Amino acid sequence: MTSAFESSTEPATPPKSDAIARREFRLFKWGTILALALGCAWPLTLNLVDPDLWGHVQYGQDWLAEGQLPRTATHTFTAEGFRWINHENIAELALAYGYENVGGPGMLVAKCLIGMAVVLSMVWIATLRGTNPYIAWVWMLVVTTNLQPFFLLRPQLLSFVYCAVTLVLLDRAFCHWQQRREVRWGLLWLLPVVVALWVNSHGGFLAGLAIIGAYLGGRILELLLSHPSAGPPRGPGMLEASVPPAEASRLALSNINRSKVALLALVGVACLAATFVNPYGLEMHRWLATSLSQPRPEITEWLAPHPGDPVFWPWLTMITIAGVSLLASTRRRDWVEIAILLLVVWQSAMHLRHVAFVALLCGYWIAPHLQSALGHLLPSGAAKGGLVALSPRMRRGAVVALLAVIALQSFAIDERLKSFPVDRGRYPVDALQFMADRQLDGRLVASFNWAQYAIAALAPDVTLAFDGRYDTCYPTEVVDMHFDFLLGEADGKRWRGPDSGPIDGTRVLKHGDPDLVLIDRLYDNPRNIMQAESEKTNPQWVLLYRDRVAELWGSSDRFNDPTSHDYLPQELRVQDPGPRDGAVPWPALPIHITGNQLASERPQTPANDAQL
């Protein structure tokens, strides 16, 4: 397709202005590419804090400090000694290293650069397949918009990188497949290495393994269908003596295809075997089989997309454009790619966390078909004219406007990458500072999304009842106990293990004898439970702290008994009804006060401004 900027019929211009017009044309052409690239970079600079980031960094730091991989659950009092299948070890080591060496903003920059490397590889593959760079970059805007909600600092990032590497290797290994069934085996044998790294970085390796298996299986099926085997010759010399030349050629091709089938199958087996290259061996696979067989209605990313989700409409737009492009395209369609894309779209319709994998597949496979489809929609003379058809003044105005857009994009990206805010209206920044100020310790029940923040902020003095590691290191009964407290019946949408007993939101307050309870006030069920507990004749829990975001309750025996060493008098308890405006830079850890530091020397925080 001819670009709108590349006109074969330039208007007559004075000879002295030809060089200027050409320079302006080149500047506008490359400026447009840069503006589109910056537009793709913007979604990848998302600087929201993932609730599990604190834990990922902490676990990586723990491993580095101890010098060995923990085999049982850490930082918990409900799963001590319980096995821990941590399938994100490489990712957590990388996050810990990044935190210690470049800090939060540095990790945001690295995240954006990683994302843009993936996007550049998509554009590269698209141009190798004959796509106009402008169309490729415009399509990348759709792809990165769909990646944005999932592009946080979390182990999933490595899944996206490994998936991108896998798709590039498959594309380049089979780039001559349609013409002469040729395979570049050196590239294909890199796939088991990718899988071995992936299995130790994030559970998304299962999606990658499924894509590899489907792709190789599709190519094997093509070989089996294209040249059916007639069987080998019946004895030495039979091929030359009794087989016609055409039949001999067919048998030779059949033998070659059988060899390719065997090698492709061997690559697939090697990829499967690579999943056992992990610290847990077969135990990881047993855990996966159990974990994936259990529904997860409490986890948002495992739910189906619906119109209220921010990801829904971009996802629907992307798959609609992809579907129309494939239907309207005049290019040869690869049925293996289409089959895999349909399977992953189906999975994304069931679990929204798979939307990111749909975006990655569309990024590598759809651009050429989009260009072909657009060729039917554009008028025949749409490519004529272009920038050079404008007057010199209008050309310079267009170039200046484009440069202004690039400058604004660069400024916005720079400002976003410099800030990694922890929203005080979403996270218990002030409640954790209160705990640090009062040196509260012990066994803590914390809301699911805050637990790993609490670990990073208060460990080792505080251990948790449950956190975002979910069933990798917690028994099903503990998982269900927590969500009984957090969600209750949830209108019958819960799934619970067969040994968890009836729903009882108070069990978590007794299991393991917790000392403290930190609840998110957005959830009605825990607020109602704690309020009911406080209204009993002999309440076991007393309110120590409350603001608009969080409530902290303590055991009456420890914190409400004047004879107790941990007694917290009324004047040191806090109730602050003011809004929690603003944010603090990640990691937003509390300032810990030493035992001999005077109260007057403590930093004044919103947590100790208002008293009960």
Dihedral (Cα; 563, 566, 570, 575), 10-degree rounding: -160
* Mean pLDDT on 487-504: 89
Answer yes or no: is 352 within a domain. Answer: no
By CB atoms closer than 10 A (0-12, 13-18, 19+), residue 193 is middle
Number of H helices and E strands in the chain, helices first, is 23, 8
Does residue 564 sit in the same domain as residue 471? yes
Does residue 392 sit in the same domain as residue 243? no
Amino acid 510 reads K
| % of the chain at pLDDT higher than 90 | 75
DSSP 328: H
Answer yes or no: is 81 within a domain. Answer: no
Query: Which of 20-34, 458-472, 490-504 comes out lowest in average pLDDT?
Result: 20-34
Q: In this predicted model, what pLDDT tens digit does every residue of 276-310 receive, in sequence order? A: 999 999 999 999 999 888 888 888 888 889 998 89
* Mean pLDDT on 536-549: 95
Alpha carbon distances (Å) from 469 to 88, 290, 534 = 10, 15, 30
Does residue 473 sit in the same domain as residue 494? yes
Q: How far apart are CA 608 and CA 595, in angstroms?
A: 17
Answer yes or no: is 333 within a domain. Answer: no
Q: Residue 424 CA to chain centroid, in angstroms?
A: 24
Does residue 245 sit in the same domain as residue 392? no
Does residue 403 sit in the same domain as residue 255? no
Closest CA to 468 of 457, 480, 453, 485: 453
- On whether the CB atoms of residues 322 and 359 are closer than 8 A, the answer is no
Strand order in the sheet with 550-555: 462-464, 442-446, 516-520, 550-555, 541-546, 574-575
Higher pLDDT, 22 or 269: 269
* Mean pLDDT on 545-563: 96
Give the pLDDT of residue 381.
45
* Mean pLDDT on 74-88: 96
Give the pLDDT of residue 287.
94
Answer yes or no: is 445 within a domain. Answer: yes
Does residue 394 sit in the same domain as residue 260? no
Does residue 398 sit in the same domain as residue 509? no
Closest CA to 547 of 568, 574, 576: 576
Does residue 545 sit in the same domain as residue 444? yes
Give the pLDDT of residue 27.
82
Does residue 187 sit in the same domain as residue 247? yes
Alpha carbon distances (Å) from 227 to 248, 349, 558 = 13, 37, 79
Give the pLDDT of residue 382.
44
For the cut 70, the answer to whether the pLDDT of residue 555 exceeds it is yes
By CB atoms closer than 10 A (0-12, 13-18, 19+), residue 440 is buried
Does residue 441 sit in the same domain as residue 479? yes
For 57-101, give the DSSP string. Answer: HHHHHHHHHHTS---B--SBSSSTT-B---TTHHHHHHHHHHHHH
Does residue 411 sit in the same domain as residue 434? no
Tell whether pTM > 0.75: yes
Looking at 226, 260, 294, the residue that finishes a domain is 294
Cβ atoms within 10 Å of 177's Cβ, excluding its own: 16
Query: Which of 14-18, 404-408, 505-509 comes out lowest in average pLDDT?
Result: 14-18
Q: In this predicted model, what pLDDT tens digit does every residue of 348-369 receive, in sequence order? A: 999 999 999 999 999 999 999 9
Q: How many domains does the chain have?
A: 3
Rg (CA), the chain: 30
Looking at 252, 279, 294, the residue that finishes a domain is 294
DSSP 448: G
- What residues make up the domain containing 285? 160-294
For the cut 50, the answer to whether the pLDDT of residue 403 exceeds it is yes
Answer yes or no: is 44 within a domain. Answer: no
Mean pLDDT of the chain: 88
Answer yes or no: is 120 within a domain. Answer: no
Give the pLDDT of residue 609.
41
For the cut 50, the answer to whether the pLDDT of residue 233 exceeds it is no
Give the pLDDT of residue 230.
42
Closest CA to 479 of 492, 488, 470, 487: 470
Looking at 266, 294, 322, the residue that finishes a domain is 294
Give the pLDDT of residue 607.
42
For the cut 50, the answer to whether the pLDDT of residue 4 exceeds it is no
Answer yes or no: is 440 within a domain. Answer: yes
Give the pLDDT of residue 23.
75
Give the pLDDT of residue 437.
95
Does residue 405 sit in the same domain as residue 541? no
In sign, the C-alpha dihedral spanning 486, 488, 492, 497 is positive
Cβ atoms within 10 Å of 554's Cβ, excluding its own: 24
Answer yes or no: is 401 within a domain. Answer: yes
